[in-house]
Amino acid sequence: MTLPQRRIGLLFAAFLVLLTVGALRAVWLGVVRADDLEAAALSQQVDELEVPAPRGAIIDRNGTELAVSAPAVDVIANPYQVEEAVVLAGQLAPLLGRPEPEVLEDLTKEDTGFVYLARRLPAQRARDIGALAAAGLTITDTSRRVYPRDTLASQLLGGVGIDGEGLFGLEMAREEGLGGDDGQRRVVSDALGDPISVREEEVAQPGETVRLTIDAAIQGKVEDVLARVGERYSPKGATALVMRPQTGELLAMANWPRVDANDWEGAPDFARNNRALSSVYEPGSTFKAFTVAGALEAGAVEPGTMFDLPPSIQVADRVIEESHPRGAVTLSTTEILAQSSNVGTIKIGQELGAPRFDQWVRRFGFGAPTGVDLPGEEAGLVLDLDRYSGSSMGNLPIGQGVAVTPMQLASGYAAIANGGVLRPPHVVAAVDGEEVPTPRGERVISPRTAAQVRTMLKGVLAPGGTAPEAAIEGYPLAGKTGTANKIDEETGEYSQSRYVASFAGFAPADEPELLITVMVDEPRGAFYGAEVAAPAFQEIAAFALPYLKIPPR
């Protein structure tokens, strides 16, 4: 074989080896690694994006916006297509509000072609990010939750998470309707990462609009009043409720300290709670109205029944005195309630007897949730009858040894105010324009008994009562003060320095159209309900009555 022939043979063999290697490589890539490569190509060229539905608005009874969805953007990166990641991370970090090392880490991930750099950024930032014209970046439209009134009813409204789902409060309770139905978007990009096809595979359906019974003007006033209580008495917390007793509509549900609903992360944990539902406390003298109502309904006493009252009373091993020292007196049932006599109320409770007393406590809804259309409601604490001790009927009738929530107390007083019907409170008035039916109630006392108790409670704000300073000229009012010692967690005994001051009342007294309760937890400098809570009731009522066009009587 000649030299040229040998060279041609060697060249042919080399080409044959290269062809064989190429064929084997093609088989390897096309068969063995086909699925992996196809997935990688799709991850670089095709994105299946979820399109969050615009969240439904929450408005007050008059249409004032309390929670709305505002335009926003999600910023997405495809690390396979990102160029000069270090430079890009430095440019993006200040625009995204994130630390530069974290952004760089996301831009250089090796196991994915999709990573969120930011969720629900204000839409105005999209222009600055888009101006970078960086390969591998995608900006998609979405929405974010905004609370235009900042702190107004924030604990009631609650909040949403980064994925736009309600986490607590009304946002969580109405998640199914408010959230709407998310859509699906398919984005196909070219080799440079530029979208060449965007298709809405499923159109997002906006959430429902929820109209509340809350009145923003009254809510704002109540929050201002509680803020002044907080400034003056530096309590641990304070709560107030305003309700239409005939229907159970809540016109205001306020808590102090205030929290900005747009900045939940900046609020302390205890301030995030809706204390109207979650705060459980001993009601003290505000509970006496239910002891008297039960005794009247059971026929154990009449409004004019007279009682000879010593300065103190012994029940088993306990000696109970009045809140203010006095000598022996004779008072009627009406006067006992008006003057908030501990000794007199215990005697009324003894006339009623423990079994019937327990029944009436439960009939007024204590020891069970009220059924309000909000999450997180506590049931309170009511002692089972078989666990009563010899001294139980010395403390339970005066509101000690039983624990209630502000919502339960308001619900019970609403039953007295509306003629004897216990009705679940509610805050949702309509959904997408369709009215929500008023919850059905249950009669717990007769109209006659309810009227008798209302008349008795008028005496609390009259001369000789415990809160005459809370009266409002032109409006007959009824209500009850409460001052309760808190339990010292270390000793298990009643504290002599920590109290809950409260007031529950309604107006006008004879035909109530407005119910207001105020609870102040651990006020400092003063602690009596008449001094701390009753003035707050008066200030709220003085605003709400004319605002609601309820005429003087």
Residues 351, 494, 496, 313, CA torsion sign:
positive
- Find where tokens 């079994």 sit: 355
Is 411 considered catalytic here? Answer: no
Cβ-based burial of 434 (10 A; exposed 0-12, middle 13-18, buried ≥19) = exposed
CB contact burial 58-83 (16+ within 10 A = b; e otherwise): bbbbeebebbbbeebbbbbbbbbbbe
Distance CA 396, CA 369 (A): 20
133: tokens are: 């014209």
124: tokens are: 């105005």
Q: Which of 154, 189, 279, 285 is catalytic?
A: 285
Q: Which residues contact 388 (CB under 8 A, 6 or more apart)?
A: 354, 358, 396
Distance CA 142, CA 129 (A): 15
3-state helix, strand, coil in the chain (%, to 5): 40, 25, 35
Residue 256 three-state SS: strand
Q: Provide the edge-to-edge strand list for the sheet that holds 249-256.
A: 249-256, 237-244, 514-521, 494-507, 478-487
Cis, bond preceding 551 (omega within 30 deg of 0):
no
Count of Cβ atoms closer than 10 Å to residue 271 Cβ: 17
69: tokens are: 């969805």
Whether residue 45 contacts residue 113, with contact meaning beta carbons closer than 8 Å, is answered with no
Whether residue 376 contacts residue 168, with contact meaning beta carbons closer than 8 Å, is answered with yes
Whether residue 37 contacts residue 28, with contact meaning beta carbons closer than 8 Å, is answered with no
CB contact burial 10-19 (16+ within 10 A = b; e otherwise): eeeeeeeeee
Closest CA to 141 of 197, 93, 177, 185: 185
What are the C-alpha distances in Å from 317 to residues 18, 383, 533? Answer: 105, 19, 32
Count of Cβ atoms closer than 10 Å to residue 209 Cβ: 18
Distance CA 93, CA 100 (A): 5
- The distance of Cα 397 from the centroid of its chain, to the nearest Å, equals 31
Catalytic residues: 285
